[in-house]
Structures are given as C-alpha cells and as structure tokens.
Structure 1
Amino acid sequence: MTDSDEAESCRPSGHSDPLSNMGDLRRVGANPDFWYPVALSKNVRSRRVFATSFAGDRIVLYRGESGAAHALEDRCAHRQVPLSMGVVEGETLRCCYHAWAYRGDGRISQIPYLTKGDGRPPRGVRGYPVREAYGLVFVFPGAPEKAPGTPLPAVPAFASPKYQTMTFSRTVRCHYSFMHENLLDMNHQFLHRGVVGRLHPELLGYRTGPRSVEARYLFTHDGGKRNPGASVLAAEGFGGGGSCDVMTIRTEYPYQTLDLVPEGAERPAFSLWAAYVPEDTEQRTCHTYGLLMIEKPRIPGVLQLAWPLIRRFTERVFAQDRLAVEAEQRAWEEQGGDRNHEVFPLILHVRKVLHANGVALTAASRNSPLAATDG
C-alpha cells in the first residue's frame, strides 16, 4: 500500500456489502486535480499542433522550436476558432483566422493589426501545466496551483533495462469506472476463453484505503487452446505448464496497475500501468492509455521476434474487454441509471474509492471532490 492512511485488509467473502448504496457511480466525474495523459509524445511533433480533450474541455497541444510541449484551451479568445487549426511560430501558437499569437501560458503575445491606441482584451486563454514522461504528454486539468505539489504516477519498470514497453492508446465508449471494475474483477476470464484458454483465478485477499484498492489473485491454467501470443507470455510465466502465478492489481486513484509474478520468480514477468481519461462532458467515453512492460528473456532478440504475436494477443483481449464494458455503458443509458446487482465485495470497495475521490458532473462543482457517502 502507498496510502499514508491506515489500510483495511480483507479476505474473500461471499457476503454482500452496504457500500452499494452510495448512489450511481456512473454520474461521478474524474477528479481533475491529477496528472492525466492526453497524447502520445510522438504524436505531438515539432512545430505542430495536436487536438485532444479532458472531460469535454477541448485542449490543443503544440511543441515549440525548443522541443517543449505546451497545452492551451482550444479556442481563440477573439472569435472562438479552434487554436488547433493554427500555426506554431517559435514558442507561440498563432490562430489561423486573424493571426492572434499566444504564449505557452495562454497569454496573448501579439495582435498584428492593433495600434497603440486600440484596446486589448483583458486576458488570453487558459494554459494547462504540462509534463512529459513514459512517452506520454500529461496535463493537469484541475486547479493549476496544485500542479507543482502533485506527483506524476510512478512507473518504475518503464525505465528498467530488464523490461521492454508496449504502449496502448484507445478510445472506449464507456464511463471510466467500468474500466477500473473490469481489470480488478478477474472473475471475467470466461470472456477470454478463446484467447487465453481456461484460466482459473482465485482471490487471495485484498486491501483498501481512502484512495486505493489492491487485490491479489492466484492464477492457474486449466487447459484449453491459447492464442500464440498468450503462449509466448505463458513462457514468460503467465499460467504456463500448470504453474501458479500471483497477479496483483491495484487502483491507486486515478490510475491502475497490474503485476504478474510467476511462481518462484523475484520480479514481475510483466507489469501494466493504465489511465482512463474522460473525453466528453458527460464522461461516457474515455481514452485508455496503457504501458505494458514485459520482462526481457535471457536469450537476446527473442522478445523482438515475439513482439507482433504479443501485440495481437493483447489487442484481442482488449477488444473483448471493450466489447463488454461498452455493452455495460449502453445498458446504463437504455435503463436510465445503474441497475447492476454487484455481489463481489472487491468491486463494491473500488466503487467506494472512485465515488469518494471523484467530482460531481456539474459545471458548478466540477473541481470539488464529492463527499463520501457510505450508505
């Protein structure tokens, strides 16, 4: 656990929990006072612009001649034309319409046709704090004064020479909470039976804190045909040859991680870090950014040869998960609310964490954390 507060240790239980009475989690927004990835660094090219968004707020990224990335509200203060249609000049971004130029902090640096006697607008546009790490561009969409004291998520395996990283970037048409539940609840392996074979997950226990839920599963492979990419990962330790592997999955708000340690191993065979970034105002669509760090085998070059197989395998698993969570979102919309009958205590706890740390989906309270309602 990394929560500074005391954590609650739990054993698997078959009993329901009153945590389910807290209200509809799908109406809770992501707390903006964290660093969120909004683009792959490679997609923000030198002297180019890139349009993205966070929870309905349109954002333009651009990289100046110095190589530094900047993030601005994607509208010109003049006529509201998207600045993502503009042109990068040095470290400024110039609107394509009347050529107003903006600095990286959003302030106006030039209005070409103004004379000294003409009035200037009182302000430019909003500038977002920006940081780059792990091949991703992060912005801080919340209160800017909180950005310096808020750390980026820690992904130690990314820089380790013992691992090679596969990056994922996909839009999923669902509320971000469905993604947290999907990864934490490994009882859905039946969904992947045609790709991974028959996997048997056993929940060993879990721990909870104000901002986190961590679960440990014992995985065994009970047979069945597996995708070639799954077989490659099995050789790395994922349920291979009847072995028992321990998988640790953690929601540390607002991020999620997964580590799989083969039986008898000292470190994970692979680790996953993921963030689910809401795109639209109602937060019914999110963009998933994932870093899958796979341990390099002792024989050089083997992982490079297997890379396309692993990529196809992970894409198939993700496609099946996306199919399921998007179906959950459609049911929520058709039924006008959450009618789920959740019985797994682990998922009831993660719902509590997501609810307590989220924000209300209203303009007035967008940046205010919701009070926890323990029902």
Structure 2
Amino acid sequence: MVQTNEKATHLSDNIYSLKVPTDLRKVGLNPNFWYPLAQAKDVKIEKPYAVSFAGNPIVLIRTKSNQLFALENRCAHRQVPLSMGIVCGNTIQCTYHAWQYNQTGKVTKVPYLPQGCSLPKGVKSYPCQEAYGHIFVFPGIPELAETVAFPEIQNWSNSNYKTMYFSRQVNCHYSFLKENLMDMNHQFLHRRFMGKVKPTLVENSKGDNWVEAKYKFSGEPHLSANLVLAPGRKETSELATSDFDIMTIRTEYPYQILRVCPSGSDLPFLDLWVSYIPIDREQKRNHSFGMLMIRQPKIPGLIHLLWPLMRYFTGVIFAEDKMIVEAEQTAYNLQGGDWNQEVFPVLLDVRELLTKKGVPIS
C-alpha cells in the first residue's frame, strides 16, 4: 500500500455532490498500467495463449527457453490469429502462410517472398513480464512501461501466508465490481453466511489516485465465515462473535486492495489484491484476477485442512457478487444509461476517481 501524506477525513468533514457528471459505465480502464492478463500456469511452453484487453486481441507466447513475449493476436497478412500459429525458437509462425514474427512483432520471414523484395510491416508488441503467478502486460503506450510502477503485492512471497488465486469472467463493466468491493453495506446480499453482521464505516480518505475506506463490523457471522476470518488469529478457537477487526479497502487506481487487521496491528490476516480486466471493446465484460493471502495459524497444517472450506466460502460470496453486478449491468443495458442514485460517500469518491483516471471508450 502506497504511503501518502494526505490527511484522512471523517464523514462529517466531507461535502459530496450526489451525482458524477460523466456516465461512469462509458469510461474505459486506462491502458497505461501493468495488468494481469493470464495466470502463469495457463501459458504453456510453445503453446500460444489468446487474451484480450478492451477488445484488443493479444497473444502471449512462452518459448522453449522460457522467454515471454506478447504481440497483437493477428497476422499482418490476412488477420488470422497468431494464437493459432506455431512457436519456432524465439519466433511465431502464422498457421496460414507461415509468416514469421519475432518478439518485437517484426516480420522476419515470408517463405515465398520473391528475392529482393522488402519484408512487410509487422504487428504491435507489448511489454510483458511474469510475476505473482501471473503474466502482466502493459497494453498502453509501450514507451511508458518503464515509467509506470509495477504492482507491489507485499505478502505474496511471505511464507507465513498461503495464497488463494481467483480467475473468473464477469459480464459487467469493471466499475460495478470496484463499487461492490468498496461498499460493505451490501452484506445483506450475503446473509446466508454473514448472518447478522453489521458494517460501520469509521473513516474514509482519498488522494490523487486512491480512495480508502475503513470498516468495523459487529454481529455474528456463520461458523464457516468465521473459519475464513479467524485462521490467522492466535488460535482458531478465538472466533469473532461480537466485534470484528478493522477492514481496510483501498482503490488505488487501477487496482484494489482489501486487508483485515487485528485492532492496533498493521499485520493483516486477510490480504486481497484484485484487478478487473475489460475484455470487449464496449467494456461490458471483464476478467477478474485476484490473490487472497491468508495468514497461517500457529497450529501446523491447520490451514490445509481448512482450505477446501475457505475455497467454498469465498466461491459462494463471489458467486453472489457476480450475480448482483451482472444484474446491475443488465439494468444499465435496458435503461440505456446510468440511473443509479448513489448516496454513499465512499462510492461517490470512487466514481469520481474512476471517471478522472479513466479514458473514453472508443
């Protein structure tokens, strides 16, 4: 989490307008950042892998020597996807006429080109690198890649944590999911597991590229929810029954972070990092990539016994969130615009941030 000097403000200190002037659902995700476009395990050696960012087709290629590169997923000749092609050394050949491209997208060989003729123009290449079990691509202006900070996910390599990975397609504009995560007032949706849990916003703050909210919870969650919330505490028997710890949720454009820490400690027992990648050109579908780092309990091996239950619980919660945000997208499509009457200060800040940092959808 980036340290800032901006002063946190309490609810009574802020004055909010109730409407963002721009239709947020027509704001595209800014491409000039590093985004996970695939889980690393899915990109096999010499098996081209097709992905997309906002309707722009991209192919990820891992060579036999484990070198990675990313190109436009089209042959400059007849526009056939290069993901259908053959990897040869450090190049890829189109499956149609065997045009060959190197890691920069330059055409290096056309088998039947008459001698003395210049090679045709190639395709766009994208900066990419493997990190945190994912393949990250910079889909914007390539020259900016070295100037834009790469995501820092602090607890991913910490041996005291076990990481749960998420990779799911959701049929909605990415902003619906960002709002959903920031707004803990929707726990009624998860009433089957969260029981009588009541969230209270205790502080919200914002900066030039971030919005942060801190919540405290009270009430009794279902036992299975408690097992997910509790494994990083001293012992599993110390389950929360009346007063949860502090949950901090931060939208630091374009990513989101959620952390649950014991009172008075900065060491989280739940640490989530998530990014929503628009798939289609209208950005009404996205691919959600997430990593949930869970601090291991002191009892050796306990987290492995609890892991299937944790996976089930998080899957159910995500399925409910997916259902509701897709319903929001359906309503938006039918209405032809954003009719939302948002009144929650945190979401008004988030909507303003996403509008300010985003780009027009072309």
TM-score, normalisation: structure 1: 0.91
Report deviation, 1:200: 1.4
In structure 1, the partner of 2:248 is: 248
Residue 86 of structure 1: aligned partner: 85
Matched, 1:185 2:183: yes
Question: Contact 2:18 / 2:343 at 8 angstroms: preserved in 1?
Answer: no
**What does residue range 160-179 of structure 1 map to in structure 2 within 5 Å?**
160-179=158-177
Letter of the aligned partner of 1:233 in structure 2?
L
Select the residue among 224, 227, 234 that pairs with 2:230: 234
Q: Secondary structure at the match of 1:170?
A: strand
Q: 1:200 aligns with which of 178, 189, 198?
A: 198
| Alignment match, 1:2 | 2
State how far apart, in whole Å, the 2-side matches of 1:239 and 1:253 are: 34
Does structure 1 conserve the Cα–Cα contact (< 8 Å) formed by 2:227 and 2:310? no
What residue in structure 1 maps to residue 125 of structure 2? 127
Verify the 8 A CA contact 2:33 2:138 in the aligned structure 1: yes
CA distance in 2: counterparts of 1:280 and 1:149, whole angstroms: 27
- Letter paired with 1:320: E
Q: What's the offset of the Cα at 1:233?
A: 2.7
Q: 1:243 deviation in Å?
A: 3.4
Displacement of 1:231 in angstroms is 2.6
- Correspondence for 1:99: 98
**For the residues of structure 2 that align with 1:209 and 1:264, how far apart are their CA atoms?**
24
Distance 1:3 1:211, change over 3 A: farther
Deviation at 1:193, TM superposition (A): 1.0
Report the CA distance shift for 1:136/1:235 in structure 2 as closer, same or farther (over 3 A): closer
Q: Distance in 2 between matches of 1:108 and 1:54?
A: 23
CA apart distance, 1:239: 6.8
Q: Which residue of 2 aligns with 1:223?
A: 220
Deviations 1:117-157 (A, max 9, x none): 33421x20000000111001011011100001112111010
Query: 1:368 aligns to what?
Result: none
Q: Residues 206-217 of structure 1 correspond to what in structure 2 (within 5 A)? A: 206-217=204-215
Within the alignment, does 1:62 sit opposite 2:61 as a pair? yes
User: Which string of whole-angstrom CA distances, capped at 9 and with x for unpartnered residues, describes residues 329-355 of structure 1?
Assistant: 111110010000001011000111000
Contact 1:229 1:312 in 2 (8 A): no
Instruction: Name the structure 2 match of 1:279.
Output: 279
Q: Give the drift of 1:64.
A: 0.7
> What is the match of residue 257 of structure 1?
257
Q: 1:145-170: CA deviations, max 9, x gaps?
A: 00011121110100111111011000
Note closer, same or farther for the CA distance 1:235–1:157 as it changes in structure 2 (3 Å cut). Answer: closer
Q: Provide the residue aligned with 2:113 in structure 1.
A: 114
Residue by residue, what CA displacement relative to the aligned partner does 1:55-104 show, whole Å, maximum 9, x if unpaired? 00001111011201111100000110000100111111110000011111
1:139 correspondence with 2:132:
no
In the alignment, structure 1 residue 327 sits paired with structure 2 residue 330 = no
Matching residue's letter, 2:271: S
Alignment of 1:41-60 (within 5 A): 41-60=40-59
What fraction of aligned residue pairs are identical, expressed as a percent?
48
Give the letter aligned to residue 278 of structure 1.
Answer: P
Q: Secondary structure at the match of 1:59?
A: strand
* Secondary structure of the structure 1 residue equivalent to 2:307: helix
Answer yes or no: is the 8 Å Cα contact 2:9–2:205 preserved in 1: yes
What's the Cα RMSD here?
1.9
The structure-2 alpha-carbon separation of the partners of 1:41 and 1:349, relative to structure 1 and needing over 3 Å to count, comes to same
Contact 1:51 1:61 in 2 (8 A): yes
Out of 14-23 and 327-336, give the one that drifted further.
14-23
Amino acid at match of 2:97: H
**Letter aligned with residue 311 of structure 1:** R
Aligned residues: 358
Structure 2: how far apart are the matches of 1:105 and 1:295?
Answer: 41
TM-score normalised over the length of structure 2: 0.94
For residue 153 of structure 1, what is the aligned residue in structure 2?
A: 151
Q: Is the 8 A contact 1:130 1:138 kept in 2?
A: yes
Does the 8 Å CA contact 2:38/2:51 hold for their aligned counterparts? yes
Distance of 1:27 and 1:88 partners within structure 2: 38
- On the 8 A contact 2:271/2:292 being kept in 1, the answer is yes
Contact 2:170 2:326 in 1 (8 A): yes
Q: For residue 159 of structure 1, give the secondary structure of its aligned residue in structure 2.
A: coil
Q: What is the letter of the counterpart of residue 181 of structure 2?
A: L
- When residues 144 and 317 of structure 1 are mapped into structure 2, their CA distance, relative to the original with a 3 A threshold, is same
| Deviation of 1:244 (Å) | 2.9
Task: Give the residue type in structure 2 aligned to 1:268.
Answer: P
Secondary structure of 2:346's aligned partner:
helix
Runs ≥4 residues deviating over 4 A: 13-16
**Secondary structure of the corresponding residue to residue 88 of structure 1:** strand
Q: Are the equivalent residues in 2 in contact too, given 1:38–1:277 (CA < 8 A)?
A: yes
Tell me the distance in 1 between the aligned counterparts of 2:228 and 2:303: 9
Distance 2:7 2:242 in 1: 32
Residues 169, 290 of structure 1: 8 Å contact kept? yes
Q: Which residue in the other structure is 2:361 paired with?
A: 361
